[in-house]
Amino acid sequence: MYEMKIVAQSIIGRQSTQSSKRNLYCHNIISVTIDSIDINSLFIKVILLDEFGEVCDLVLLDGDYVKMVNSEKVFMVSRNCYKFIFNNIGIRKVGKFKLRFLLVKYGLLDKKFQEINQIDSELIEVCSSHTYAAKKKLLFPRKQ
């Protein structure tokens, strides 16, 4: 059994560029519950989708979009549960997107990758530098 759940996700971000990387606002945190002993062969790969669910070109995605169980920002919550924290993902195009988190297992004997499970985020709006601050203020007003 491999169960995936989105614990937290970004809903807005500023457009990232080659010269200035802009992380999405809020970390994307995925919880994975497994009943397998061979956890070291598992990893999560992030795939960028457009608002209609079509796969986008990988060059539009910045940051760490592959995390193995034993890598930084992966924490064991309980014996069978891990949290994968994707805290530095950026998107290089303005628009509405989704992130697909794909749980993959690498077969040590057959040397093949097997897609085990996947989960898609809700829509994320990526704004230009000019519109980002106003949009963020609307979504996250400060308490007075």
- State the CB neighbour count (10 A cutoff) for residue 65: 17
Give burial (CB, 10 Å; 0-12/13-18/19+) of 89: buried
The pLDDT value recorded for residue 31 is: 93
Which residues of the chain, if any, have pLDDT below 70?
36-38, 143-144
Distance between CA 46 and CA 86 in Å, rounded? 9
Count of structural domains, the chain = 1
DSSP state of 54: P
In a domain, 111, yes or no: yes
Note the Cα 99 to chain centre separation in Å: 6
User: For position 29, which CATH number holds?
Assistant: 2.60.40.3960
Q: What is the pTM of this model?
A: 0.88
Give the Cα-Cα-Cα angle 81, 5, 15 (nearest 5 degrees): 120
In a domain, 22, yes or no: yes
In a domain, 142, yes or no: no
CB-CB contact of 49 with 56 (8 Å): yes
The pLDDT value recorded for residue 144 is: 45
In a domain, 116, yes or no: yes
Domain that holds residue 60: 2-137
Which residues, 6+ apart, have CB-to-CB distance to 131 below 8 Å? none
CB-CB contact of 4 with 30 (8 Å): yes
Q: Which two tokens stand for residue 111?
A: 């040397």
The pLDDT value recorded for residue 143 is: 57
User: In the block, which residue shows the tokens 């940051």?
Assistant: 63
In a domain, 144, yes or no: no
Pairing relationship of beta strands 124-127 and 12-14 according to DSSP bridges: parallel
In a domain, 143, yes or no: no
In a domain, 101, yes or no: yes
Note the Cα 36 to chain centre separation in Å: 23
